[in-house]
Chains A and B, each alone.
Chain A
Amino acid sequence: MAQKKAKITERKQEVLKGLKAFGTSVYNQLDQGVFPSVNMPSRSTENITYDERLRQYILGEKIVGRSTRNIRHIKPFTQLAWVALFSNELTSQRKTSTLRDVYYSAQAYEMTFSDQQESNNIITDLETLTGFAREDFNIFPEERSAIFGDLDVAYTVPGYEGKSVNLTSHPDGVLIGPAITSSEFLKTSANKIIAIEKGALFTRFIEESVHSKHKSLLISCGGQAPRQTRSFIRRLHDELNLPVFILTDGDPWGMHIAQVIISGSANAAHLRDLNTPDAVWSGVWASDIIEYKLPTDPLDEVDIKRLYELQKDPRYQNDPIWQREIKTFLKIRRKTELEAFSRYGLTYIVDKYLPTKLEAVPDVAAGPDKKKK
């Protein structure tokens, strides 16, 4: 565990080093009487490719330059320098900030952004430039998801250093925020992680004691999982060595929520470790609709359009299950929700469906997972 703590401090040191390196480069250029400039990988769509080996999107070779000699670049460059300085303060003083806070703090420095989107973009620039995620700079989005299960963590945030807590201590679950994502993992009895698309079902699982019956850490994604939740899942998987199972609604949108946790998104192609390639989509599959005779709704036009898009998406090529399920959806033209299992009684999904899926799934997903290890 001490080793893990060192790892967290080590990463912080690296982040600070990266920020300082940027500052020094700009300082030296100015000092030598040249217009400061920076180069970073381009995030334009032509430069985003899917890497089969890493099983995530990455940026290609294309580089873009930002030079202060250019009248159109000098303002975003100044904003970038400011965001770097602000991140440096947050990181070294171990304070956190939301994206919105950054936007407002800028005004105190007379460094106004015309809108939130502009400041978000500059933060993404800093991520691309340094290779660290904004969470590394202690900048977090507003949306939060939750975790519940038998895991002892020790805080590292100021004022709570060394304090530990068990993540079953609060029946609503614990928010996945900066305090949790920066904590050290001490001890767990869980042998798996179950990520659930919807908050309602997450609550049901807690009520039904899924965490103890199935020895699992439960995570509520709250729809499309936020970036910090995705990177947190990755950490849990890597550091605790636990398999990850994802439960979503049985429609193209739910399927894709699972896919983003597994393979990441194009928007984060400049970052690493936000996705968990070994995670498994456990359901609800299109074939489950048939097998469990679930109540359904017809697919509407946008659903079908989305399915055809996903069929071509590179992330859907490496595991045969995706193509199989897309085809089934298109064949039956029906979709369903996790709640549909209630037709067999409130505990059916926990007592019958889940155990079957948890057993069945590793076989299907075993291929890439086993090969890698």
Chain B
Amino acid sequence: MSQATFEEMSVSDFFYRNRDIAGLTNPSRSIFVAIREVVENSLDAAESQKIPPDVYVRLSFEAEATKETQIYKLRVQDNGCGIQPQFIPSAFGQVLYGSKYKLKQARGTFGLGGKMAVLYGQITTHKPVLVTSSTGQEKIYSFKLMIDIQRNKPIILDRKVITNKDNWRGTVIEFTLEGDYLRAMPKIIEYFKQTALVNPYANITFVDPKGRLYKFTRATSVMPDPPTETLPHPYGVDVELLQRLIQVTTCTNMSTFLRQHFHRVGEITAQKFLDFAGLPVSKNPKKLSHEEIVKLMQNLKRYKDFLPPDASCLSPLGEELLKAGVMKELNPEYLVVHQRKPSTYAGHPFIVEMAIAYGGGVPKTGNFVIYRFANKIPLLYDEASDVAYKVISAMTWRRYKVTPDMPIAILIHVCSTKVPYKTVGKEFISDRIEVRKEEANAIREVSRQLSHFLTRQEHVHMEKKRLSIFNKYLPRIAEFSTTLSGQTKRPDIDKLLKSVQKYGTEES
């Protein structure tokens, strides 16, 4: 009988072995995910400073790899906030290291995405990643890095510093990776198009391996207000978080502890809650027993009178920007956008934004075109698993005069401090009842407006048809009656034709 052997695995090793959870499943999907993760980091970096993003992406052919795959070099440059030199190695060389673990809306959340791309490049091509960045100060820093997968630590191969003469600010990241661009191309182009749609204030340029240039120009330089960081809401806490807060707190009584570390808790609320929970105000949080912490967590969830989280930690697009984005990329004949009031699920605030576009540049596919976004990221895979798909399918479209063969695009944007993704791959949103309700209300609202538009359009159409009937027949009647009555001059029917027209415009 052999004995079981135990060993430790690092997080990078874990994700390396299970890279499919991050979406790196095959050569075509992997190249798509790599581009997406790096571009999203760039957009985050610019947006956090309310800088209209300029993102330049170049994918160039390096060498043939296998029958179906090639080696490509990916280079992404942005005008974002840049990274201070001491953080660069870990930001790109250590899995689960990041600046976005805070309670505010961002594209990135896990401290994983960029690294998975780099890691994938490293294991497929055995080459380092090159990161050049400046925060706009005197120096520009360049690092050549590899990841020590087993230890989950960056290996610095080279480091260069140059003076920043032109006050450049931003980051350039460059690495090689294996993939199947031809296969991935449609999704990648779609990704850029939808990214441009939901980031109408961004300039995005993509040069593909064939040298083709895809340029998405910003339609506005108005930016949504960046989110402010927020404290955790009492409804969203767990025992782990409570213990951590107790460890770091300097507060010595329960009232100040609650007020300082939780969102939406003031003096009166703290007082009332502590009464409810049967805890003395003066109790020192550090003295709470494990059982008391568990009870506190349960009571925090049970107490009904906490105000819901406010939405300042969110940065939705807003109706104006959403409109600008859709007009820019789809140019529909009719567009209606709607932003829901903030709502929460499990203590996490979220906002649903919805648009419905009709006609014009919207293609007729025999079914609605659905554009899904979460925190301004397009979601391109697993549409049928997304809660939005269920909401759209559950609609009684007949009631809105809408049929699937109409050229209709539906756009859903969910933003939250914690988007309820089903997977680390950020592909679809799970069916949370609160989210589903908000999406359903939003789609009903835009559909109602669309149906008004369709009714109006039908009227206009009918009116046109009505006028054309008068225009067609009255002259014939004039002609026939002139001959029949033996007259020579046709009666003047212009006045009559004008009168139906006037009647027509009054009616519509």
Contacts and interface: CB of A to CB of B under 8 A. Distances in A.
A23 interface: yes
B464 to A, nearest CB: 12
B360 interface: no
A133 B482 CA distance: 24
Nearest to B486: A20
A115 interface: no
Contacts, number: 73
Q: Which of B476, B486, B495 has the most CB of A within 10 A?
A: B476
A24 to B, nearest CB: 4
B42 to A, nearest CB: 60
A82 B491 contact: no
Given A31-B492, A71-B466, A71-B469, A36 B484 contact: no
B476 A33 contact: no
B185 interface: no
Contacts of B496: 30, 33-35
Interface string A318-332: 000000000000000
Contacts of A225: none
B480 interface: yes
Given A71-B466, A75-B473, A84 B486 contact: no
Nearest to A76: B473
Size category of the A interface is 20 to 34
A28 to B, nearest CB: 8
Contact of B484 (A35, A71, A85): A85
Interface string B458-483: 00000000100110011011101111
B487 interface: yes
A77 B470 CA distance: 12
B493 interface: yes
B481 A36 contact: yes
A74 B474 contact: yes
A75 B496 CA distance: 16
B477 A81 contact: yes
B480 A78 contact: yes
A110 to B, nearest CB: 8
B3 interface: no
Given A19-B484, A20-B486, A71-B466, A111 B476 contact: yes
A82 B495 CA distance: 23
Contacts of A19: 484
A156 interface: no
A20 B493 contact: no
Contacts of A33: 492, 495-496
B508 interface: no
Given A31-B491, A35-B496, A71-B469, A82 B476 contact: yes
Interface residues of B, number: 21
B474 A68 contact: yes
Contact of B477 (A24, A31, A34, A78): A78
B466 A23 contact: no
A26 interface: yes
A27 B469 contact: no
A27 B491 contact: yes
A88 interface: yes
B485 interface: yes
B68 to A, nearest CB: 60
Contacts of B470: 71, 74
A85 B480 contact: yes
Contacts of B491: 27, 30-31
Contacts of B477: 26, 30, 36, 68, 74, 77-78, 81
A75 B476 CA distance: 10
A316 interface: no
Contact of A23 (B473, B485, B492, B493): B485
A88 B484 CA distance: 7
Contacts of B482: 27
Contacts of B487: 27
Nearest to A72: B469
User: Lowest 4 A-B CB distances belong to which pairs?
Assistant: A23-B484, A23-B485, A26-B481, A30-B491
Interface of B: 466, 469-470, 473-474, 476-478, 480-487, 491-493, 495-496
25 contacts: A20-B485, A23-B480, A23-B484, A24-B481, A26-B477, A26-B484, A26-B485, A27-B482, A30-B481, A30-B491, A30-B493, A31-B492, A33-B495, A33-B496, A36-B481, A68-B473, A68-B474, A71-B470, A74-B470, A75-B469, A78-B476, A78-B480, A81-B476, A82-B480, A85-B483
Given A33-B495, A74-B469, 8 more contacts: A20-B484, A23-B485, A27-B491, A74-B477, A77-B473, A78-B476, A81-B481, A85-B480
